[in-house]
Amino acid sequence: MATLLTTEYLPIGDPSCDLAREQLARAGRRIRDGGLVVFPTETVYGLGGDATRAESARRIYAAKGRPSDNPLIIHIADPQDAEPYAVTCDTYDRLARAFMPGPLTVILPRKPTIPTETTGGLETVAVRCPSHPIARALIRAAGTPIAAPSANLSGKPSPTCARHVMDDMDGRVDIIIDGGDCEIGLESTIVAISGEDNVTLLRPGAITYDALCMVIGKVQIADAVTEQLKEGERVLSPGMKYRHYAPDSPVVLLDGAPDAVLQYLMHEQQRCRCAILCYDEELSALQTSGEPLLFPVGARDDLVTQAHTLFTLLRHADRALPDIIYAHLPPMDGLGLALYNRMIRAAAHTIKRV
Ligand code: AMP
Ligand code: MG
């Protein structure tokens, strides 16, 4: 357990106002001095430290309770700022022009300015340029790239609002910047570049497989995106081998025709105390006289809203201590692939066909 700190809570609305600028300058100095600052991004909240300092990486791992071979993403304010820290290439430039600033992380060879403590011992480094104005202002204020994993305790869902961060990180970090709800709600898309135009999708996110293909042509998808790893299998992205968010209650994903799934859920409500991450369209049918544990994720076709609500609702459903949590198996195309990737981890790959 990390030493208990007094965590300063800093709500910031408009990062360009004088007060916010002064607060961000102070938070940036804290990072440069080796401190930890949680900040909002367009994906999820990040737990930031100086990416060039081994000691900051060690503090991040300790605060999260995360294994130190799970590498950190370094955050830069502008795509061209990658140069001193990573070996860039034409493919990086093309991806950067198309998607940065934004929710894309690119794995590149590491330069010595980034210590192996930050990269989990790897010779590569994950680089991302977030679009959130507070994140960019903080990175500029720090004057150094910010290494930041998601600001949750290891094993909890990524935080998408400051409330979740406070639940997990109060007393473990120096400053928490509250910039409101994260727009996207799922972590960034991660790709690895190996050789010219050889791009592999390691983790799907809001930058979809189709969008990447439009820019790069052919993109491979790592097996671990959709499949369960076999015992001892080598992974391209170390984070994929860890138990990701798995609530205390078992999660089961339902796959089948909409009517069949709804009938099954109504039947299960009679049988046990189940929490249901349901579509808005199912709400009225699932309202029962008792105390139904319903967590509407959005309309069936509205994957953007489902991505935005997923982690919050998993936290809420878990807190209700149900016998079981049911959710729909997401489609595997478009933004659905990112939802699918997170959900099969939360469900430890338990899928029931009905
Ligand atoms: P998080 O910061 O919680 O979103 O997790 C960061 C993810 O990025 C982890 O799952 C890592 O596996 C992945 N990652 C970071 N650096 C690298 C790298 N050099 N090579 C492959 N994957 C990486
Ligand atoms: Mg994470």
Q: What is the tens place of the pLDDT at every residue in 245-289?
A: 677 889 999 999 999 999 999 999 999 999 999 999 999 999 976
What pLDDT shows up at residue 351?
95
Domain ranges of the chain: 8-225, 251-353
Question: Do the beta carbons of residue 142 and residue 34 sit within 8 Å?
Answer: no
Residue among 190, 201, 207, 236 whose CB has most ligand 1 atoms within 8 A, to mutate: 190
Residue 246, amino acid: A
What pLDDT shows up at residue 232?
62
What burial letters (b/e) apply to 193-221, b meaning 16+ CB within 10 Å?
A: beeeeebbbbbbbbbbbebbeeebeebeb
What pLDDT shows up at residue 228?
76
User: From ligand 1's centre to the CA of 57, what distance in Å?
Assistant: 13
Task: Look at residues 195, 40, 59, 51 and name the one whose alpha carbon lies nearest to residue 125.
Answer: 51
What pLDDT shows up at residue 68?
75
Closest ligand to the CA of 110 = 1
Strand partners for 294: 276
Question: Do the beta carbons of residue 172 and residue 2 sit within 8 Å?
Answer: yes
Look up residue 353 and give its two tokens: 């066909």
Name which residue sits closest to atom 11 of ligand 1, judged by CA: 239
Q: Which protein residues touch ligand 1 with a CB less than 6 Å away?
A: 70-71, 73, 107, 119, 122, 124-126, 149-150, 187, 190, 202, 236-239
User: From ligand 1's centre to the CA of 72, what distance in Å?
Assistant: 6
Task: Look at residues 314, 317, 312 and name the one whose alpha carbon lies nearest to residue 274.
Answer: 317
User: From ligand 1's centre to the CA of 237, what distance in Å?
Assistant: 6
CATH 3.40.50.620 fits 251-353, yes or no: no
Closest ligand to the CA of 239 = 1
Q: Specify the 3-state DSSP secondary structure of 232.
A: coil
User: From ligand 1's centre to the CA of 190, what distance in Å?
Assistant: 8
Question: Do the beta carbons of residue 225 and residue 138 sit within 8 Å?
Answer: no
Tell me how far apart the alpha carbons of residues 136 and 52 are, in angstroms, rounded to a whole number: 17
Closest ligand to the CA of 105 = 1
Residue among 237, 242, 341 whose CB has most ligand 1 atoms within 8 A, to mutate: 237
| pLDDT, mean over the chain | 93
| Residue 131 vs residue 229, higher pLDDT | 131
Closest ligand to the CA of 152 = 2
Tell me 80's DSSP state.
G
Q: Rg for the chain (alpha carbons), in Å?
A: 20
Strand partners for 307: none
Q: Which pLDDT tens digit goes with each residue over 209-257?
A: 999 999 999 999 999 898 876 666 666 666 655 556 677 889 999 999 9
| Nearest ligand 1 atom to alpha carbon 46 | 2
CATH topology of domain 8-225: DHBP synthase (3.90.870)
Question: Do the beta carbons of residue 306 and residue 298 sit within 8 Å?
Answer: yes
What pLDDT shows up at residue 267?
95
Q: Which pLDDT tens digit goes with each residue over 70-121?
A: 899 999 999 999 999 999 999 999 999 999 999 999 999 999 999 999 999 9
CA 34 from centre of chain: 23
Closest ligand to the CA of 245 = 2
Task: Look at residues 301, 310, 302 and name the one whose alpha carbon lies nearest to residue 340.
Answer: 310
Question: Do the beta carbons of residue 137 and residue 121 sit within 8 Å?
Answer: no
| Nearest ligand 1 atom to alpha carbon 187 | 4
Distances (CA, A) of 4 to 1, 28, 153, 343: 8, 21, 15, 33
Task: Look at residues 178, 72, 168, 65 and name the one whose alpha carbon lies nearest to residue 132.
Answer: 178
Look up residue 106 and give its two tokens: 């690119």
Q: Specify the 3-state DSSP secondary structure of 98.
A: helix
User: From ligand 1's centre to the CA of 104, what distance in Å?
Assistant: 12
Name which residue sits closest to atom 10 of ligand 1, judged by CA: 239
pTM of the model: 0.94
Question: Do the beta carbons of residue 230 and residue 220 sit within 8 Å?
Answer: no
User: From ligand 2's centre to the CA of 150, what distance in Å?
Assistant: 4
Distances (CA, A) of 251 to 111, 146, 277, 318, 329: 41, 34, 10, 10, 11
| Nearest ligand 1 atom to alpha carbon 105 | 8
